[in-house]
Structures are given as structure tokens and as C-alpha cells.
Amino acid sequence: MRQQVQPGGASSASCSSTSECFSLSHRPAAECGSETSAASEKHEVRANNPPADLSRMTSIIVFYLLYLLSLCLGLACVVCVCVWSGHWRGGFAWDGSALEFNWHPVLMVTGLVVVYGVGAVVYRIPLTWGQNKLPWKLLHAALMLIALILSIVGLCAVFDYHNINKISNVYSLHSWIGITATAVFAMQWVCGAAGFLLPCSPVTLRKVLKPVHVWLGGIILLLSIAACISGINEKLFFALKGNATGTQPYSSLPPEAVLGNTLGVLIVAFGLVVLKILSNHEWQRPDSRPEGLAYTPLLQEENE
């Protein structure tokens, strides 16, 4: 449905519900910060509609609170998994020993969950909506590439450790889910880069690809969380056997077990906050640009 352009560049779409209708101002970058007559007119219009203004402001505040929460949870996940591998599991190496395996949880949690989640919500930040989309698209692609590389190196660590120690690969349910998540993620990144970054990709293809891209993005995060929870659970049972190695059994909940379980809870919480941000239509970057207020696209069509 075509959007109606409000004075000042803010667009208001006709909506089926207030929750779907929310539209933040997305003026072009060139206009941001300038108090034009049109912008003044918009302020007058807003002054006549205080409930809508209040609703808009509340929504922005809730977004930033959730965004801040996601960053804190993500940071807590990375700290927890580093402390677990670095302190409780003996540290890191790349020599085929258990210390090489220790890279696996750190890189998978950091890459496939935290950096991935942070990269997924880049477009939802309202402050970016008034700006040229291309830099944010490149940031999204770069964060996802970092996440993908970390995940692949994380998989290499466990494959290398298994191969050197004559342990079978890809037999557990954890590995099936984790490998699927990484494979779909790699496919998603390649298709996303080809479909949304290449200047030669047609606009019609982008329109078809976009909902699939968004949908697959959520699925990858769900698979990542399931893989992480099963992996942490499995590792704690393997590591905390209460045997001659001097470890306390998992069932007695020693500090390492509490740390591992807490890491799992933090991962679930981070994933839920990210999925909440992604699923809220109020925080989706508006698709249609107000007519007559064009950006300067660096590629063919950057608004897809």
C-alpha cells in the first residue's frame, strides 16, 4: 500500500492496527538536523496529536532499552564462555589437545549467537532510518561475515580436535543442529550478498528474496540457540564426571556447572530479546521512501 508523505518527510502508512502502524520519522540524511519550514509544520501536526507522539516516544524508549539489554546479555555471554573455557577448562591452544577444543564454545557462542544477533538488529535502530541505507547494509553484511568466519573457525577447532584424537565427527544431535545452522547461515550470507549488495541484482529479485532472508535469519538464530544449549549440556556432562580427574560431578552443581548453566540461560535470554526486536513490526525500517525526498544510492537500489 502506498505511503502518504507527511510534512517534514515523516511518512505515515495506513495500517490495520496501531501496533503495525507505528512509523518513526525517516528523513533523508541531508535534511536531518535542519529546522525547515516543513519540519516546523510537522512539529505543529505532532503537537496536535499528543497521544501519537507519546506512543512513538514510548516505542523508541522501549526499543533502546531492549537493544541495550541485548548488548549487555551478549557481552555477558561472551565473558561467561571465555571464563569457562579460559579459566575452568584450562585455556586455549591450537595443538589438537583439549585446549584446542576450548575454542569451539567460545567461537560458536561469540559468532553464531552474539555477533550474529547484534548484526541482525542493525536495521531496527530508529536512528539509522533517516540515513542512507547502504552503510548500514555494509555493516550488516560485515558483522554477519565476521559471525560466519568465527563460526567456521569454531567448527574447524572441533573437527581438528576430533580428527587428531580419533573421535567421530557429526554424529550427535547437537552436531546435526549446529552444522545445519552454520550451513544455512553460509548459504544465507552468500545469497544475501548476491541478492542485496551486487548492483546487477534486479529489484524484483530483492523483493522476493527479502522476506525469505528475514525468515531464514530467525531460523538460524533458533537453530544456534538449540545447538548451544545442547552443546553446553553435553560438555558439562563430559567434563564434570566426578571421577579420578578431581572434578566434582555435574549433579552436585559445582561452580563450573553453575557457570555453564548460567551461560545457557544468558544465551536463551539474548536470543529471546533479539527475536523480540526482530518480530516487532513497529521497529522495522520503513520500506518506502517518501516521494521527492530521494537518497543518493551508491548501488542500484539500496532500499531493498
Residues that bind its own copies (CB under 8 A): 1, 3, 13-21, 23, 167-168, 171-174, 176-177, 211, 215, 219, 222-223, 225-227, 229-230, 232-234, 236-237, 250-253, 257, 260-261, 264-265, 268, 271-272, 275-276, 279, 281, 287
C-beta of 150: minimal distance to its own copies in Å? 22
Burial track 245-267 (b if 16+ CB lie within 10 A, e otherwise) = eebeebeeebebbebbeebbebb
Residue 122 or 259 with smaller CB distance to its own copies: 259
Residue 138 or 265 with smaller CB distance to its own copies: 265
C-beta of 19: minimal distance to its own copies in Å? 7
3-state secondary structure of 284: coil
Is 271 exposed, middle or buried (CB count within 10 Å of its CB: 0-12, 13-18, 19+)?
buried
C-beta of 146: minimal distance to its own copies in Å? 25
C-beta of 36: minimal distance to its own copies in Å? 26
Residue 98 or 146 with smaller CB distance to its own copies: 98
| Contact status, residue 24 vs residue 126, Cβ threshold 8 Å | yes
* 282 alpha-carbon distance from chain centroid: 17
C-beta of 55: minimal distance to its own copies in Å? 13
Residue 34 or 168 with smaller CB distance to its own copies: 168
DSSP 3-17: PEEPGGG-EE---SS
Residue 120 or 227 with smaller CB distance to its own copies: 227
The total of other beta-carbon atoms located within 10 Å of residue 148's CB is 21
C-beta of 279: minimal distance to its own copies in Å? 7
CA separation for the pair 227, 108 (Å, rounded): 9
Residues 6 or more apart from 180 whose CB is under 8 A from it?
A: 223
Residue 79 or 170 with smaller CB distance to its own copies: 170
Residue 13 or 193 with smaller CB distance to its own copies: 13
C-beta of 123: minimal distance to its own copies in Å? 16
> What secondary structure letter does DSSP report for 249?
B
CA separation for the pair 19, 280 (Å, rounded): 8
> What secondary structure letter does DSSP report for 292?
T
User: Phi and psi of 12, rounded to 5°?
Assistant: -125, 115
